[in-house]
Structure 1
Amino acid sequence: MRERFWEHYPLEELTAEEWEALCDGCGQCCLLKFQDEESGELAVLNLACELLDVHSCRCSDYAHRLERVPECTRLTPERVEEFRWLPHSCAYRRVAEGRKLARWHPLLSGDPERVHRKGVSVRSFAVTSRGVPEEQYEDHIIAVIPID
Protein backbone atom coordinates (compact mmCIF):
# COMPACT_ATOMS: atom_id res chain seq x y z
CA MET A 1 0.00 0.00 0.00
CA ARG A 2 1.08 3.53 -0.64
CA GLU A 3 2.20 5.53 2.37
CA ARG A 4 -0.67 7.53 3.95
CA PHE A 5 -2.71 6.91 0.80
CA TRP A 6 -5.89 8.31 2.41
CA GLU A 7 -4.28 11.76 2.57
CA HIS A 8 -2.97 11.81 -0.99
CA TYR A 9 -5.59 10.13 -3.16
CA PRO A 10 -9.35 10.43 -3.58
CA LEU A 11 -11.36 7.33 -2.77
CA GLU A 12 -11.86 6.55 -6.46
CA GLU A 13 -8.08 6.20 -6.94
CA LEU A 14 -7.46 3.75 -4.10
CA THR A 15 -6.42 0.21 -4.86
CA ALA A 16 -8.70 -2.58 -3.64
CA GLU A 17 -6.25 -3.29 -0.82
CA GLU A 18 -6.17 0.38 0.24
CA TRP A 19 -9.96 0.60 0.11
CA GLU A 20 -10.32 -2.41 2.41
CA ALA A 21 -7.61 -1.10 4.77
CA LEU A 22 -9.59 2.11 5.19
CA CYS A 23 -12.32 0.21 7.03
CA ASP A 24 -11.92 0.92 10.74
CA GLY A 25 -13.67 -2.29 11.82
CA CYS A 26 -16.48 -0.64 13.75
CA GLY A 27 -19.24 -2.84 12.27
CA GLN A 28 -21.78 -0.01 12.21
CA CYS A 29 -22.55 -0.49 8.53
CA CYS A 30 -23.62 -4.07 9.36
CA LEU A 31 -26.40 -3.01 11.72
CA LEU A 32 -29.90 -3.49 10.32
CA LYS A 33 -31.61 -0.31 9.17
CA PHE A 34 -35.12 0.42 7.98
CA GLN A 35 -36.34 3.55 6.24
CA ASP A 36 -39.78 4.96 6.97
CA GLU A 37 -41.43 5.49 3.59
CA GLU A 38 -43.43 8.53 4.76
CA SER A 39 -40.88 10.49 6.80
CA GLY A 40 -37.72 9.20 5.13
CA GLU A 41 -36.21 8.64 8.58
CA LEU A 42 -33.85 5.74 9.00
CA ALA A 43 -34.26 3.50 12.03
CA VAL A 44 -31.02 1.87 13.16
CA LEU A 45 -31.30 -1.34 15.16
CA ASN A 46 -28.87 -2.98 17.55
CA LEU A 47 -29.34 -6.11 15.44
CA ALA A 48 -26.40 -7.00 13.24
CA CYS A 49 -26.41 -8.84 9.97
CA GLU A 50 -26.35 -12.58 10.55
CA LEU A 51 -22.83 -12.72 9.05
CA LEU A 52 -21.30 -10.16 11.40
CA ASP A 53 -19.11 -11.60 14.12
CA VAL A 54 -20.21 -9.16 16.83
CA HIS A 55 -17.00 -9.67 18.81
CA SER A 56 -14.52 -8.95 16.02
CA CYS A 57 -16.95 -6.65 14.18
CA ARG A 58 -15.93 -8.32 10.92
CA CYS A 59 -17.98 -10.23 8.40
CA SER A 60 -17.69 -13.98 8.86
CA ASP A 61 -18.01 -14.59 5.10
CA TYR A 62 -16.94 -11.34 3.47
CA ALA A 63 -16.06 -12.93 0.12
CA HIS A 64 -19.57 -14.37 -0.29
CA ARG A 65 -21.62 -11.83 1.67
CA LEU A 66 -23.47 -10.43 -1.34
CA GLU A 67 -24.66 -13.87 -2.41
CA ARG A 68 -25.64 -14.91 1.11
CA VAL A 69 -27.19 -11.58 2.14
CA PRO A 70 -28.54 -9.80 -0.96
CA GLU A 71 -29.47 -6.69 1.04
CA CYS A 72 -25.89 -6.33 2.31
CA THR A 73 -24.60 -2.78 2.17
CA ARG A 74 -22.15 -2.63 -0.73
CA LEU A 75 -20.04 0.38 0.00
CA THR A 76 -17.90 1.53 -2.93
CA PRO A 77 -15.96 4.74 -3.57
CA GLU A 78 -18.66 5.85 -5.99
CA ARG A 79 -21.47 5.22 -3.50
CA VAL A 80 -20.07 6.60 -0.23
CA GLU A 81 -22.08 9.80 -0.44
CA GLU A 82 -25.32 7.82 -0.93
CA PHE A 83 -24.90 6.40 2.56
CA ARG A 84 -25.56 9.56 4.55
CA TRP A 85 -26.25 7.39 7.59
CA LEU A 86 -22.59 6.37 7.88
CA PRO A 87 -21.35 7.53 11.28
CA HIS A 88 -19.23 10.69 11.38
CA SER A 89 -16.41 8.50 12.69
CA CYS A 90 -16.41 6.29 9.54
CA ALA A 91 -13.12 6.53 7.67
CA TYR A 92 -14.85 6.26 4.30
CA ARG A 93 -17.11 9.18 5.17
CA ARG A 94 -14.29 11.21 6.70
CA VAL A 95 -12.04 10.84 3.64
CA ALA A 96 -14.94 11.57 1.27
CA GLU A 97 -15.63 14.77 3.23
CA GLY A 98 -11.97 15.81 3.17
CA ARG A 99 -11.46 15.18 6.89
CA LYS A 100 -8.58 13.37 8.57
CA LEU A 101 -8.83 9.90 10.02
CA ALA A 102 -9.61 9.66 13.71
CA ARG A 103 -6.49 9.18 15.84
CA TRP A 104 -7.77 5.78 16.99
CA HIS A 105 -8.04 4.47 13.40
CA PRO A 106 -5.92 1.30 12.94
CA LEU A 107 -3.97 2.87 10.06
CA LEU A 108 -2.75 5.58 12.44
CA SER A 109 -2.69 3.81 15.78
CA GLY A 110 -1.48 0.43 14.52
CA ASP A 111 -3.97 -1.10 16.96
CA PRO A 112 -7.16 -2.66 15.53
CA GLU A 113 -8.56 -3.08 19.06
CA ARG A 114 -8.53 0.66 19.74
CA VAL A 115 -11.80 1.20 17.83
CA HIS A 116 -13.45 -1.09 20.38
CA ARG A 117 -11.79 0.44 23.45
CA LYS A 118 -12.89 3.90 22.27
CA GLY A 119 -16.49 2.67 22.13
CA VAL A 120 -16.86 3.38 18.42
CA SER A 121 -17.61 -0.20 17.40
CA VAL A 122 -20.80 -2.19 17.85
CA ARG A 123 -19.02 -4.81 19.96
CA SER A 124 -20.53 -3.68 23.25
CA PHE A 125 -24.17 -3.56 22.17
CA ALA A 126 -24.91 -5.40 18.92
CA VAL A 127 -26.55 -8.78 18.81
CA THR A 128 -26.97 -10.96 15.76
CA SER A 129 -30.29 -10.77 13.96
CA ARG A 130 -30.28 -14.55 13.59
CA GLY A 131 -33.29 -15.92 15.42
CA VAL A 132 -34.96 -12.57 16.12
CA PRO A 133 -38.45 -12.51 14.59
CA GLU A 134 -39.18 -9.48 12.38
CA GLU A 135 -42.15 -8.54 14.55
CA GLN A 136 -39.65 -7.83 17.36
CA TYR A 137 -37.36 -5.58 15.28
CA GLU A 138 -39.10 -2.43 16.51
CA ASP A 139 -37.98 -3.31 20.05
CA HIS A 140 -34.36 -3.12 18.85
CA ILE A 141 -34.34 0.45 17.47
CA ILE A 142 -31.41 2.37 18.97
CA ALA A 143 -31.44 5.50 16.80
CA VAL A 144 -33.56 7.33 14.27
CA ILE A 145 -31.69 9.35 11.67
CA PRO A 146 -33.41 12.02 9.58
CA ILE A 147 -32.41 11.62 5.94
CA ASP A 148 -32.70 14.70 3.75
Structure 2
Amino acid sequence: MDQLQKFWKVKTLEQLSPSEWESLCDGCGKCCLNKLEDEETGDLVFTNVACKLFDSQACRCKNYQKRRRFVPDCQILTPKKVRRLSWLPATCAYRLVAEGKDLPKWHHLVSGNKHSIHKAGASVKGKVVSEERVKDLEDHVVDWIY
Protein backbone atom coordinates (compact mmCIF):
# COMPACT_ATOMS: atom_id res chain seq x y z
CA MET A 1 0.00 0.00 0.00
CA ASP A 2 1.53 3.30 -1.01
CA GLN A 3 1.51 6.44 1.12
CA LEU A 4 -1.47 7.95 -0.76
CA GLN A 5 -3.66 5.01 0.25
CA LYS A 6 -2.64 5.39 3.92
CA PHE A 7 -4.99 8.31 4.50
CA TRP A 8 -4.66 8.00 8.30
CA LYS A 9 -0.99 8.99 7.99
CA VAL A 10 -1.58 12.13 5.97
CA LYS A 11 -4.93 13.44 7.17
CA THR A 12 -6.19 14.70 10.49
CA LEU A 13 -9.43 13.31 11.88
CA GLU A 14 -11.20 16.45 10.72
CA GLN A 15 -10.00 15.91 7.14
CA LEU A 16 -11.34 12.37 6.82
CA SER A 17 -14.24 11.70 4.47
CA PRO A 18 -17.23 9.93 6.00
CA SER A 19 -16.14 6.61 4.46
CA GLU A 20 -12.56 7.05 5.69
CA TRP A 21 -13.88 7.87 9.17
CA GLU A 22 -16.01 4.73 9.27
CA SER A 23 -13.23 2.55 7.88
CA LEU A 24 -10.88 3.71 10.62
CA CYS A 25 -12.88 1.79 13.23
CA ASP A 26 -11.00 -1.45 13.87
CA GLY A 27 -14.04 -3.27 15.26
CA CYS A 28 -12.49 -3.99 18.66
CA GLY A 29 -15.77 -3.35 20.49
CA LYS A 30 -14.06 -1.83 23.53
CA CYS A 31 -15.99 1.42 23.23
CA CYS A 32 -19.23 -0.57 23.59
CA LEU A 33 -18.32 -1.83 27.06
CA ASN A 34 -19.84 -0.44 30.23
CA LYS A 35 -17.42 1.51 32.36
CA LEU A 36 -17.53 2.42 36.04
CA GLU A 37 -16.25 5.66 37.51
CA ASP A 38 -14.88 5.92 41.04
CA GLU A 39 -16.87 8.77 42.56
CA GLU A 40 -13.95 9.89 44.74
CA THR A 41 -11.07 9.72 42.27
CA GLY A 42 -12.80 9.92 38.91
CA ASP A 43 -10.83 6.86 37.76
CA LEU A 44 -12.56 4.69 35.19
CA VAL A 45 -12.53 0.92 35.02
CA PHE A 46 -13.82 -1.28 32.24
CA THR A 47 -16.19 -4.18 32.63
CA ASN A 48 -16.72 -7.16 30.36
CA VAL A 49 -20.35 -6.07 30.02
CA ALA A 50 -21.35 -4.84 26.59
CA CYS A 51 -24.18 -2.62 25.45
CA LYS A 52 -27.42 -4.46 24.77
CA LEU A 53 -27.01 -3.73 21.04
CA PHE A 54 -23.52 -5.25 20.83
CA ASP A 55 -23.18 -8.53 18.93
CA SER A 56 -20.25 -10.20 20.72
CA GLN A 57 -19.56 -12.69 17.92
CA ALA A 58 -19.62 -10.18 15.06
CA CYS A 59 -18.03 -7.53 17.30
CA ARG A 60 -20.39 -4.91 15.92
CA CYS A 61 -23.49 -2.98 16.87
CA LYS A 62 -26.71 -4.79 15.93
CA ASN A 63 -28.36 -1.51 14.93
CA TYR A 64 -25.55 0.94 14.21
CA GLN A 65 -27.62 3.44 12.22
CA LYS A 66 -30.34 3.77 14.88
CA ARG A 67 -28.28 3.09 18.02
CA ARG A 68 -29.08 6.43 19.67
CA ARG A 69 -32.78 5.65 19.44
CA PHE A 70 -32.30 2.52 21.57
CA VAL A 71 -29.30 3.62 23.65
CA PRO A 72 -29.61 7.39 24.20
CA ASP A 73 -26.25 7.68 25.99
CA CYS A 74 -24.31 5.95 23.20
CA GLN A 75 -21.31 8.12 22.36
CA ILE A 76 -21.16 9.00 18.68
CA LEU A 77 -17.48 9.69 18.11
CA THR A 78 -16.38 12.94 16.53
CA PRO A 79 -12.85 14.34 16.22
CA LYS A 80 -13.55 16.63 19.20
CA LYS A 81 -14.85 13.77 21.34
CA VAL A 82 -11.93 11.52 20.41
CA ARG A 83 -9.55 14.11 21.83
CA ARG A 84 -11.66 14.58 24.96
CA LEU A 85 -12.74 11.06 25.94
CA SER A 86 -10.09 9.65 28.25
CA TRP A 87 -11.62 6.18 28.23
CA LEU A 88 -10.86 5.41 24.60
CA PRO A 89 -8.45 2.46 24.66
CA ALA A 90 -4.81 3.11 23.79
CA THR A 91 -5.27 0.87 20.72
CA CYS A 92 -8.29 2.80 19.36
CA ALA A 93 -7.54 3.82 15.79
CA TYR A 94 -9.29 7.17 16.23
CA ARG A 95 -7.18 7.92 19.29
CA LEU A 96 -3.98 6.77 17.56
CA VAL A 97 -4.59 9.04 14.55
CA ALA A 98 -5.46 11.96 16.84
CA GLU A 99 -2.14 11.40 18.64
CA GLY A 100 -0.19 11.22 15.36
CA LYS A 101 0.60 7.52 15.80
CA ASP A 102 0.44 4.72 13.27
CA LEU A 103 -2.10 1.93 13.27
CA PRO A 104 -1.12 -1.48 14.68
CA LYS A 105 -0.19 -4.27 12.29
CA TRP A 106 -3.43 -6.14 13.07
CA HIS A 107 -5.63 -3.20 11.98
CA HIS A 108 -7.56 -4.18 8.86
CA LEU A 109 -6.35 -1.10 6.95
CA VAL A 110 -2.78 -2.33 7.49
CA SER A 111 -3.26 -6.10 7.33
CA GLY A 112 -5.96 -6.14 4.66
CA ASN A 113 -7.94 -8.60 6.77
CA LYS A 114 -10.98 -7.62 8.89
CA HIS A 115 -10.40 -10.66 11.11
CA SER A 116 -6.77 -9.95 12.01
CA ILE A 117 -7.81 -7.92 15.07
CA HIS A 118 -9.61 -10.94 16.47
CA LYS A 119 -6.75 -13.30 15.64
CA ALA A 120 -4.41 -10.93 17.50
CA GLY A 121 -6.70 -11.00 20.55
CA ALA A 122 -7.12 -7.22 20.42
CA SER A 123 -10.92 -7.25 20.30
CA VAL A 124 -13.62 -8.20 22.80
CA LYS A 125 -15.01 -10.88 20.48
CA GLY A 126 -16.37 -13.73 22.58
CA LYS A 127 -15.12 -12.13 25.84
CA VAL A 128 -18.17 -10.16 26.93
CA VAL A 129 -21.71 -10.54 28.22
CA SER A 130 -24.72 -8.40 27.41
CA GLU A 131 -25.84 -5.82 29.92
CA GLU A 132 -29.27 -7.42 29.70
CA ARG A 133 -27.87 -10.42 31.64
CA VAL A 134 -26.02 -8.52 34.36
CA LYS A 135 -27.34 -7.21 37.67
CA ASP A 136 -24.19 -5.74 39.23
CA LEU A 137 -21.51 -4.20 37.00
CA GLU A 138 -19.02 -4.20 39.87
CA ASP A 139 -18.88 -8.00 39.62
CA HIS A 140 -17.61 -7.68 36.04
CA VAL A 141 -14.62 -5.34 36.29
CA VAL A 142 -11.71 -6.47 34.10
CA ASP A 143 -8.13 -5.35 33.62
CA TRP A 144 -7.50 -6.75 30.15
CA ILE A 145 -8.68 -3.63 28.31
CA TYR A 146 -5.73 -1.57 27.11
Residues 31 and 48 of structure 1 are in contact (CA less than 8 Å); yes or no, is this contact kept in structure 2? yes
In 2, Cα distance between the equivalents of 1:82 and 1:96?
11
Which residue number in structure 2 is paired with residue 120 of structure 1?
Answer: 122
Residues 32 and 49 of structure 1 are in contact (CA less than 8 Å); yes or no, is this contact kept in structure 2? yes
CA RMSD of aligned residues (A): 1.6
Query: Could you tell me how far 1:15 is from its partner in structure 2?
Result: 0.9
In 2, Cα distance between the equivalents of 1:80 and 1:122?
20
Correspondence for 1:96 among 98, 120, 131: 98
Which residue number in structure 2 is paired with residue 4 of structure 1?
Answer: 6
TM (normalized to structure 1)?
0.90
Q: 1:132 to 1:40 in 2, by over 3 A?
A: same
Residues 43 and 144 of structure 1 are in contact (CA less than 8 Å); yes or no, is this contact kept in structure 2? no
TM (normalized to structure 2)?
0.91
Which residue number in structure 1 is paired with residue 80 of structure 2?
Answer: 78
Matched, 1:143 2:114: no
Which residue number in structure 2 is paired with residue 58 of structure 1?
Answer: 60
In 2, Cα distance between the equivalents of 1:144 and 1:57?
17
1:18-65 CA distance string (max 9 Å, x none):
100000000000000121221101121100000010011100000000
Letter in 1 for 2:12: P
Query: Could you tell me how far 1:144 is from its partner in structure 2?
Result: 9.9
Aligned length: 142
Letter in 2 for 1:97: E
Q: 1:3 to 1:28 in 2, by over 3 A?
A: same
Q: 1:73 to 1:144 in 2, by over 3 A?
A: farther
Gaps of 5+ in 2: none
